[in-house]
């Protein structure tokens, strides 16, 4: 797939279901949970600065997106309801998350299980309200 084919034609944030709907010119349409976007953030806070430095994100089941900003003509930056806002999601990375969603989700659930961690938040959950 060419780089231009990975540019979304439509992006919609669904607050109630906490998901991002992304459509592409070829007819592909995906719904990415905000939780998946958050736990696979491309930020150094999540990925670290090299292999083996990744930080398992826990307690993100109820996370939502409070704002979306364009980064040039090549990416989006999300602000999540837990305050995280440092990941820049290139068009190609977003498309990869869409295409690999099932595999990535299974890998995340396995990591949570092995770590004996939880997807559930341990403190108060902030609910984003639309103005």
Backbone φ, ψ for residue 56 (5° rounding): -65, 125
Which domains are assigned to the chain? 4-112 (3.30.2020.30)
What was the pLDDT predicted at 14? 97
Which uninterrupted H or E stretch holds 76? strand 75-80
Half-sphere exposure of 41 (CA within 13 A, CB side): 27
pLDDT of residue 31: 97
pLDDT digit string (tens) for 100-125?
A: 999 999 999 999 999 999 999 885 55
Angle at which helices 91-99 and 101-115 pack, to 10 degrees?
80
- What value does the mean pLDDT of the chain take? 91
Residue with tokens 């602000």: 79
Q: What angle do CA 123, 12, 76 make, to 5 degrees?
A: 75
| Pairwise CA distance, residues 64 & 106, whole Å | 20
The partner residues of 13 in beta bridges, in order of sequence, read: 20
Reported as a single tens digit per residue, the pLDDT across 5-61 is 789 999 999 999 999 999 999 899 999 999 999 999 999 989 888 888 899 999 999
């Amino acid at each position: 797939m060419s780089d231009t084919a990975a540019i979304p034609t439509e992006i919609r944030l669904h607050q109630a279901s906490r998901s991002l709907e992304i459509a592409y010119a070829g007819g592909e349409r995906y719904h990415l949970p905000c939780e998946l976007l958050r736990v696979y953030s491309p930020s150094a806070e999540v990925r670290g600065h090299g292999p083996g430095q990744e930080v398992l994100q826990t307690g993100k089941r109820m996370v939502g997106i409070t704002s979306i900003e364009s980064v040039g003509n090549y990416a989006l930056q999300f602000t999540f309801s837990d305050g995280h806002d440092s990941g820049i999601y290139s068009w190609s990375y977003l498309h990869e998350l869409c295409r690999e969603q099932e595999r990535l989700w299974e890998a995340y659930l396995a990591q949570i299980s092995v770590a004996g961690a939880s997807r559930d938040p341990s403190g108060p959950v902030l609910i984003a309200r639309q103005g």
